[in-house]
Amino acid sequence: MSYSDSDGGICADCGLCCDGTLFSLSTVPSGERQSVEAAGLAVEEIDGVPSFRQPCRQLCGTRCQIYPQRPRSCRKFRCPTLRNLDAGEIDAAEAGRRIATAREAASRFRNELLPGETIPQARVRLEQSARSGSKSRADDRARLMLGALEIVLGRNFRAARQQAMTTDD
């Protein structure tokens, strides 16, 4: 049994792979650019790869508005929590706890963002301020919240060194 099929299963209660929390972009597989654009996603070349930025404009709350027609990179992505659930290594309650923990950590980090800033934008800003030697208490607090979020994401939602949602296995 797959907990992500048809209506989205636990994925519909999560949305972390679409809201900018896990990834800053999703790649568009070759041959899908037209259909992805027709679905209302703005495809652009990012480092020479057709991609769309996160948060996804088709995400409403935690639910994908085009779930049955979502791009292949979205269909193929299976976070470690979903893989654990599908393999019977954890139950739905544990998956729900992991999602709740990650969403709570993301919420704490969002409280540190500048007005109108997304999580991917904040990551870039905080990296740049760290490189420049910024001594801002607000940035230090935001980096602390981001670090806590990254620990949760790395443990339960992201494969090692995974920076984008791709069709790679």
Closest residue by Cα to residue 114 from 129, 99, 133: 129
CA atoms within 13 A on the CB side of 49: 14
Label each residue of the chain as H, E or C.
CCCCCCCCHHHHHCCCCCCCCCCCEEECCCCCHHHHHHCCCCCEEECCEEEEECCCCCEECCEECCHHHCCHHHHHCCCHHHHHHHCCCCCHHHHHHHHHHHHHHHHHHHCCCCCCCCHHHHHHHHHHHHHCCCCCHHHHHHHHHHHHHHHHHHHHCCCCCCCCECCCC
Strand partners, 51: 27, 44
Mean pLDDT within 87-92? 95
Q: Tell whether the model's pLDDT for residue 40 goes beyond 90.
A: yes
First to last CA, the chain: 20
Q: pTM of the entire structure?
A: 0.85
Q: What integer pLDDT is reported at residue 66 of this predicted model?
A: 92
Q: What integer pLDDT is reported at residue 54 of this predicted model?
A: 95
